[in-house]
Amino acid sequence: MRKRPYLRTTPPEEALRLLLERTKPWLYDLKELVPIEEAFGKVTAEPVFALRSVPHYRAAAMDGVALKASVTFGADLSSPRRLRLGEEAFWVSTGDPLPEGCDAVVMAEEVHQVDSETVELQRAARPWQHVRPVGEDIAAGEMILPRGWRLRPWDLGALLGAGIKEIWVKRPPLIGVIPTGGELVEVTEERSLKEGEIPEFDSAVIEGMVREVGARVLRHPIVRDDLEEIRGAMREVLKEGCDIVVLLAGSSAGERDYVAEAIASEGELLVHGVGVMPGRPTALGVVGGKAAVGLPGYPVSAVIAADLFLLPLLEAMLGQLPSRRPTLPARLLRSLPSKLGLQEVIRVKVAEVRGKWIAYPLARGAGLLSSLVRADGLLRVPPSLEGIGEGKRVEVELLRPLEELSRSVLAVGSHDMALDILANELRRSYPPFFLSSVPVGSLDGLLAIRDEGAHLAGSHLLDPETGAYNIPYIRKYLEGVPVKVVRFLEREQGLIVPEGNPKGIRGLED
């Protein structure tokens, strides 16, 4: 069996630096002209200047009467000033043009209408009070937005108000995604999977990630584990105008892993193997003058590697600073052994228990995409540590809003599908509550309650000495801990036998 060793394990920070220095993504300058209504979320390609002032006329800022301020000078409670409507005072609504000769507006609630032709004021007006001058918001010729600005909803309003109907934006980078592997099957195939076949969904995950940043995806059909086919696929996506080539799977050191070799033969291989887990079998290089990113086949590895290398590359192309997730200090509920020399990314559940934030590690397998689906955050174990001890303070990168986490109930212990039903029902309330489950077994659930690491624990422990369920264990492990025992479910358990029960099994005694 032929194996290809990694060239060397490169620290992720150095690997990203090499990729950015070699490809210089900040020089990306392709642009397109789009209507303002289609510009939300896009990035300006050049400065934008106002074509007209906002407002473009002197406007009333309040409902009331418009007048020349000087005619009210001297007005007070003892000597009110009366003005003739249509000659000295004019009723106006907010936004109306100021009548000729007027330079102030008096609010309606400060105006006493004597009759249909006369109003009375008991206070003098100041020149330009409650008047919006021309260009108060935006002046014609003023730069509204600079180059490299990601457009938000209110930006679009400002542009339209200033007379701008279309805008030059950076063309969303086009990412050529090439899934590789003879075991992969298109998810669109309407048939049952055979043993050894794997539905290809990594490309959908990567497409979602890059679309969030502002890129587009051209997905190539699945390519077999063949060096020449992979090289040909790279040439095809580059010919279609792709700005980055992403190869999925085939980046490790196995017999059928050709991605690193394909990058090297078509261009320049910068990195093969990065010091992060999951995600170590990552390959980075340059092909046809464009960045080439080889992501591992395991889905969690692919996500972690894309987050570390592909997304920063795209952000640089669009002139954006690297995004940073909000972090939260928390207490680690379980010890985490880790491999020295590699940064390990752990998926965690997060909850606030008795006023303190805790982090509970989830399963660590690189192929367990469900661990990302269920995760509230990510915990990075530095390469200089062989792990983090239970109870230590850690920094968690949040994958969910803090507002949601503060309304989350954490259930640790024995799991039952009824908890999933309960979680769904809790979301029907408003504001919703969120139930998160960590299935670790009954005893560990009780210990989590003891250690202030859960709100509730599922338990179905039988005491063989007394024949009682749960209570003996609660008394043993939760002595002195104020808890409430709720009878939640009854379970019916049985034996699974071959179809037709050929041996006639009726119970445990058989």
pLDDT tens, position by position, 68-93? 999 999 999 999 999 999 999 999 99
Please indicate, yes or no, if residue 73 is contained in any of the structural domains: yes
| Dist CA 502 CA 75 (whole Å) | 107
CA 185 to each of CA 140, 231, 233: distance values in angstroms, whole numbers, following the listed order: 57, 20, 17
**Quick one: tokens of 87?**
């000659």
pLDDT over 80 (residue 192): yes
- Same-domain check for residues 333 and 453: yes
Q: What is the pLDDT of residue 7?
A: 60
pLDDT over 70 (residue 253): no
Cα-based angle 465, 467, 468 (whole degrees, multiple of 5): 110
The answer to whether residues 342 and 273 touch, using CB atoms and an 8 Å cutoff, is no
- Size of the chain, expressed as the number of residues it contains: 510
Amino acid letter at 16?
L
Please indicate, yes or no, if residue 3 is contained in any of the structural domains: no
Q: What is the pLDDT of residue 43?
A: 96
Q: Give residue 445's Cα distance to chain centre.
A: 31
Q: Among 318, 340, 369, identify where a domain stops.
A: 318
pLDDT over 70 (residue 502): yes
Q: Rounded to a whole number, what is the distance in angstroms from the first to the last CA of the chain?
A: 49
| Dist CA 246 CA 225 (whole Å) | 15
- Same-domain check for residues 471 and 425: yes
Please compute the mean of the pLDDT values over residues 101-124 and round it to a whole number.
95
pLDDT over 70 (residue 5): no
27 Cβ neighbours under 8 A, 6+ residues apart: none
| Dist CA 453 CA 349 (whole Å) | 11
- Same-domain check for residues 189 and 123: no
Q: What is the pLDDT of residue 243?
A: 98
- Same-domain check for residues 48 and 106: no
pLDDT band, very low/low/confident/very high, at 443 (cuts 50, 70, 90): very high
Q: Which residue has the higher pLDDT, 317 or 194?
A: 317
Please compute the mean of the pLDDT values over residues 419-447 and round it to a whole number.
90
- Same-domain check for residues 331 and 464: yes
Q: What is the pLDDT of residue 8?
A: 78
The answer to whether residues 360 and 453 touch, using CB atoms and an 8 Å cutoff, is yes
Please indicate, yes or no, if residue 502 is contained in any of the structural domains: no
pLDDT band, very low/low/confident/very high, at 395 (cuts 50, 70, 90): very high
pLDDT band, very low/low/confident/very high, at 1 (cuts 50, 70, 90): very low
Q: What is the pLDDT of residue 6?
A: 59
Place of tokens 């100041």: 126
- Same-domain check for residues 359 and 408: yes
Helix (H, G, I), strand (E, B) or coil at 289: coil
**Quick one: tokens of 481?**
């801990």
| Dist CA 453 CA 437 (whole Å) | 12
Amino acid letter at 87?
E
Q: Among 170, 195, 224, identify where a domain stops.
A: 170
Q: What is the pLDDT of residue 428?
A: 87
**Packing angle of the helix pair 227-239, 259-266 (nearest 10 deg):** 60
Using alpha carbons, select from 55, 51, 44, 48 the residue that is nearest to residue 152.
44
Residue 237 DSSP code:
H
Amino acid letter at 441?
G
Here the CATH number for the domain that contains residue 83 is 2.170.190.11
The answer to whether residues 450 and 413 touch, using CB atoms and an 8 Å cutoff, is no
Total count of domains within the chain: 4
The parent domain of residue 359 ranges over 327-478
| Dist CA 102 CA 131 (whole Å) | 10
Using alpha carbons, select from 261, 251, 213 the residue that is nearest to residue 28.
213
pLDDT over 90 (residue 137): yes
Digit-coded pLDDT (tens) for 210-238? 999 999 999 999 999 999 999 999 999 99
- Same-domain check for residues 176 and 164: no
Please compute the mean of the pLDDT values over residues 202-206 and round it to a whole number.
96
Please compute the mean of the pLDDT values over residues 448-468 and round it to a whole number.
91
Please indicate, yes or no, if residue 506 is contained in any of the structural domains: no
| Dist CA 323 CA 459 (whole Å) | 41
- Same-domain check for residues 289 and 186: yes
Instruction: Compute the Cα dihedral for 475, 477, 480, 483 and give only its sign.
Output: negative
| Dist CA 286 CA 268 (whole Å) | 5
Cα-based angle 270, 271, 276 (whole degrees, multiple of 5): 155
Burial of 136 (0-12, 13-18, 19+ CB in 10 A): middle
pLDDT over 70 (residue 252): no
pLDDT band, very low/low/confident/very high, at 416 (cuts 50, 70, 90): confident
Helix (H, G, I), strand (E, B) or coil at 302: helix
Q: What is the pLDDT of residue 415?
A: 86
Please compute the mean of the pLDDT values over residues 252-266 and round it to a whole number.
83
Place of tokens 């979680």: 423
Lowest mean per-residue pLDDT among 109-118, 167-176, 499-508: 499-508
Please indicate, yes or no, if residue 410 is contained in any of the structural domains: yes
Q: Among 318, 344, 367, identify where a domain stops.
A: 318
Cis omega (within 30 of 0) for bond into 431: yes
- Same-domain check for residues 281 and 255: yes
Please indicate, yes or no, if residue 307 is contained in any of the structural domains: yes
Please indicate, yes or no, if residue 490 is contained in any of the structural domains: no
Instruction: Compute the Cα dihedral for 425, 428, 433, 435 and give only its sign.
Output: positive
| Dist CA 330 CA 226 (whole Å) | 47
Please indicate, yes or no, if residue 210 is contained in any of the structural domains: yes
- Same-domain check for residues 349 and 471: yes
Instruction: Compute the Cα dihedral for 503, 504, 508, 510 and give only its sign.
Output: negative
- Same-domain check for residues 243 and 382: no
Digit-coded pLDDT (tens) for 31-78? 999 999 999 999 999 999 999 999 999 999 999 999 999 999 999 999
DSSP string, 36-53: GGG-TT-BBSS-EE-SS-
Digit-coded pLDDT (tens) for 320-352? 999 999 999 999 999 999 989 999 999 999 999
| Dist CA 8 CA 84 (whole Å) | 89
- Same-domain check for residues 255 and 289: yes
Please compute the mean of the pLDDT values over residues 456-469 and round it to a whole number.
90
pLDDT band, very low/low/confident/very high, at 488 (cuts 50, 70, 90): confident
Percent of the chain with pLDDT over 70: 97
| Dist CA 21 CA 19 (whole Å) | 6
| Dist CA 453 CA 424 (whole Å) | 22
Mean pLDDT of the chain: 93
